[in-house]
């Protein structure tokens, strides 16, 4: 016969399994639960996105305001188009804002840095579906080295 | 003549192997391919969850903690040479989630619970308890095998999750508390590199597959025991050896399927 003590212990066992699962999902994988918090979508075209990936963060002064949702190649211009979702609580970015692809640390992951632009009466706020035109592409190390070598060489001549 | 003997030997072994797979399949089919009787089955299942799951918890949690700590310490020593000790978090978390969690838990489970299942059922078989059950019109497959099988299949994934979670905190303990990595960067880099579908779901799939295989082998070895003391000891050894080999081989297959491309 199953005693009460065994039932309690088995219940605790199942609960601790569930607790481990929740720890892994929310603390380790950091799955975002959609808590009814709405988001809006922005687009930006770059000439080179470097190592930017889907789910890379979009940061304003280091604060994560959204994430990269999709990266596609524009069929006409053959330039990468980055689609990002921004939390609606951050909806006060003027149209003059600029985007750049930055790297955290020397060898760290890449993220999108959003720099809010100036604002006056003629300038609207960014809304869902807007495109940010002022973009700065990723610094590719090989290109930098190439430029550096080229400048050293031209000085020698 | 001796060549013919060798060929016959090979054939006999092959037939025995295939027959063994067939008998193991029939045993499992007879045990689980029925409509479960919840009122009668639940107490049996709880009893087995206690034996198979709760009693394995201590060894799993302690091993998880130590493996996480050792991983962090060794990883730190290597990573610090490149100045990238901040990446310790993903290193510990990904190796635990993708490989060590499911595999080491399954190996420990085979040693802790699988061998016990084999010995228990083997002794029941040797003392003809299984035959007596059958004479009392109780199906031993449903009464004895089915609850143990389900208990194993439920317990092992849960144990693997606990192992992994405790291991990550063990890694945190060594990396952050002892070696002085910044706690914020440990967690944030870890969180940005662990993915729900790629890592956690695959961890669960792996440990469920291992659970079925390990429990199945343990039950079959007990059920097919040669009814004497030597037979039981041999069956117990075979359980541990065969399920460990099966886990390691399947792990490679599953990893190649999940992360190969």
Helix, strand, or coil (residue B199) = helix
Residues 6+ apart with CB under 8 A from B214: B106, B109, B110, B114, B152, B156, B243, B246, B247
Chain A residue with the nearest C-alpha to that of B162:
A20
Quote the pLDDT of residue A35: 53
Chain B residue with the nearest C-alpha to that of A7:
B46
Quote the pLDDT of residue B196: 81
B128-144: average pLDDT: 86
Cα–Cα distance measured from residue A140 to residue B224, given in angstroms and rounded to the nearest whole number: 64
Average pLDDT in chain B: 89
Q: pTM (2 decimals)?
A: 0.75
A54-75: average pLDDT: 85
Cα–Cα distance measured from residue B194 to residue B200, given in angstroms and rounded to the nearest whole number: 8
B242-260: average pLDDT: 92
B155-165: average pLDDT: 94
Quote the pLDDT of residue A10: 87
My answer on whether A110 and A139 are in the same domain is: yes
| Residue A27 scores a pLDDT above 80 | no
B137-158: average pLDDT: 89
Neighbouring C-beta atoms of residue B68, cutoff 10 Å: 29
CB contact under 8 A, A7 and B46: yes
Cα–Cα distance measured from residue B45 to residue B48, given in angstroms and rounded to the nearest whole number: 5
My answer on whether A61 and A125 are in the same domain is: yes
B216-224: average pLDDT: 92
Of B187, B203, B224, B14, residue with least CA distance to B89:
B187
My answer on whether A51 and A121 are in the same domain is: yes
Query: pLDDT band at A140, cuts 50/70/90?
Result: confident
My answer on whether A48 and A122 are in the same domain is: yes
Query: pLDDT band at B74, cuts 50/70/90?
Result: very high
Query: pLDDT band at A117, cuts 50/70/90?
Result: confident
Chain A contacts in chain B segment 49-88 (CB below 8 A)? 49-50, 53-54, 57, 84, 86
B100-104: average pLDDT: 94
Neighbouring C-beta atoms of residue A86, cutoff 10 Å: 21
Cα–Cα distance measured from residue B113 to residue B99, given in angstroms and rounded to the nearest whole number: 21
User: Which carries the bigger pLDDT value, residue B240 or residue A88?
Assistant: B240
Chain A residue with the nearest C-alpha to that of B49:
A10
Helix, strand, or coil (residue B89) = helix
Segment B110-119, tens digit of pLDDT: 999 999 999 9
Q: Per the domain annotation, does A73 fall within a domain?
A: yes
CB contact under 8 A, B165 and A24: yes
- What is the ipTM score, two decimals? 0.77
Segment B22-61, tens digit of pLDDT: 998 988 888 887 777 777 788 888 889 999 989 999 999 9
My answer on whether A139 and A114 are in the same domain is: yes
My answer on whether A45 and A66 are in the same domain is: yes
Which residue do the tokens 């990550």 mark? B168
Query: pLDDT band at A24, cuts 50/70/90?
Result: confident
- Copy the structure tokens of residue A82: 């980055």
Which H, E and C letters describe B135-176, residue by residue? Answer: HCCCCHHHHHHHHHHHHHHHHHHHHHHHHHHHHHHHHHHHHH
Cα–Cα distance measured from residue B156 to residue A5, given in angstroms and rounded to the nearest whole number: 22
Segment A43-53, tens digit of pLDDT: 998 888 887 87
| Residue A141 scores a pLDDT above 80 | no
My answer on whether A133 and A79 are in the same domain is: yes
Quote the pLDDT of residue A1: 56
Q: Per the domain annotation, does A4 fall within a domain?
A: yes
A79-103: average pLDDT: 87
Quote the pLDDT of residue B70: 94
- Copy the structure tokens of residue B162: 């606990």
My answer on whether A15 and A64 are in the same domain is: no
* Closest CA of chain B from A94, distance in Å: 29
Average pLDDT in chain A: 82
The count of domains in chain A is 2
Q: Per the domain annotation, does A157 fall within a domain?
A: no
User: Which carries the bigger pLDDT value, residue A35 or residue A64?
Assistant: A64
- Burial code (b: 16+ CB inside 10 Å, e: under 16) for A41-72 equals ebbbbbeebbebeeebbbbbeeeebbbbbebe
In this structure, chain A runs to a length of 157
Q: Per the domain annotation, does A72 fall within a domain?
A: yes
User: Which carries the bigger pLDDT value, residue B184 or residue B224?
Assistant: B224
Instruction: Note whether B214 and B247 are within 8 A (CB).
Output: yes
| Residue A36 scores a pLDDT above 60 | no
Q: Per the domain annotation, does A117 fall within a domain?
A: yes
Q: Per the domain annotation, does A153 fall within a domain?
A: no
My answer on whether A119 and A47 are in the same domain is: yes
Cα–Cα distance measured from residue A74 to residue A81, given in angstroms and rounded to the nearest whole number: 6
Of B191, B195, B247, B189, residue with least CA distance to B218:
B247
Question: What's the domain range around A67?
Answer: 39-146
Largest CA distance in chain A: 94
- Copy the structure tokens of residue A72: 């596609």
- Copy the structure tokens of residue B224: 């097919």
Instruction: Note whether B162 and B56 are within 8 A (CB).
Output: no
DSSP letters spanning B101-145: HHHHHHHHHIIIIIHHHHHHHHHHHHTTHHHHHHHTT--HIIIII
Cβ neighbours of A16 in B, within 8 Å: 57, 158, 162
Neighbouring C-beta atoms of residue A30, cutoff 10 Å: 16
B8-28: average pLDDT: 90
Of A130, A116, A115, residue with least CA distance to A41:
A130
Cβ neighbours of B53 in A, within 8 Å: 10, 13
| Residue A69 scores a pLDDT above 90 | no
- Burial code (b: 16+ CB inside 10 Å, e: under 16) for B169-191 equals bbbbebbbeeeebeeebbbbbbb
My answer on whether A21 and A59 are in the same domain is: no
């Amino acid at each position: 016969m199953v005693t009460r003590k065994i039932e309690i212990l088995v219940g605790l066992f199942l609960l601790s399994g569930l607790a481990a699962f929740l720890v892994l999902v929310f603390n380790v994988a950091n799955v975002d639960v959609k808590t009814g918090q709405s988001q809006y979508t922005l687009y930006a075209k770059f000439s080179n996105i470097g190592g930017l990936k889907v789910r890379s963060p979009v940061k304003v002064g280091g604060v994560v305001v959204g994430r990269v949702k999709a990266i596609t190649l524009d069929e006409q211009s053959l330039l990468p188009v980055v689609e990002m979702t921004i939390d609606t609580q951050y909806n006060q970015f003027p149209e003059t804002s600029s985007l750049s692809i930055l790297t955290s640390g020397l060898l760290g992951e890449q993220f999108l840095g959003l720099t809010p632009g100036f604002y006056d009466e003629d300038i609207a706020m960014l809304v869902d579906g807007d495109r940010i035109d002022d973009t700065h592409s990723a610094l590719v190390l090989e290109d930098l080295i190439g430029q550096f070598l080229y400048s050293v060489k031209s000085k020698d001549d | 003549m001796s060549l013919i003997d060798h060929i016959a030997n090979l054939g006999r072994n092959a037939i025995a192997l295939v027959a063994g797979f067939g008998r193991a399949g029939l045993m499992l089919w007879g045990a689980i391919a029925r409509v479960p009787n919840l009122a009668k089955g639940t107490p049996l299942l709880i009893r087995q969850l206690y034996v198979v799951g709760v009693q394995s918890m201590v060894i799993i949690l302690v091993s998880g903690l130590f493996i996480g700590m050792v991983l962090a310490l060794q990883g730190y020593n290597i990573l610090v040479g490149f100045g990238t000790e901040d990446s310790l978090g993903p290193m510990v978390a990904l190796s635990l989630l993708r490989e060590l969690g499911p595999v080491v838990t399954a190996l420990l489970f085979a040693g802790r619970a699988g061998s016990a299942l084999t010995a228990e059922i083997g002794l029941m078989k040797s003392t003809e308890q299984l035959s007596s059950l059958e004479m009392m019109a109780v199906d031993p497959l449903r009464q004895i095998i089915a609850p143990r099988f389900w208990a194993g299949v439920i317990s092992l994934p849960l144990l693997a999750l606990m192992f992994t979670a405790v291991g990550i905190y063990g890694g945190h303990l060594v990396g952050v508390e002892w070696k002085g990595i910044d706690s914020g960067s440990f967690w944030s880099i870890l969180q940005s590199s662990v993915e729900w579908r790629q890592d956690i779901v695959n961890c669960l799939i792996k440990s469920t597959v291992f659970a079925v295989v390990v429990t199945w082998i343990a039950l079959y070895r007990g059920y097919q025991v040669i009814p004497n003391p030597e037979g039981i000891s041999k069956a117990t050894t075979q359980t541990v050896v065969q399920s460990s080999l099966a886990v390691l081989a399947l792990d490679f297959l599953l990893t190649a399927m999940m992360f190969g491309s």
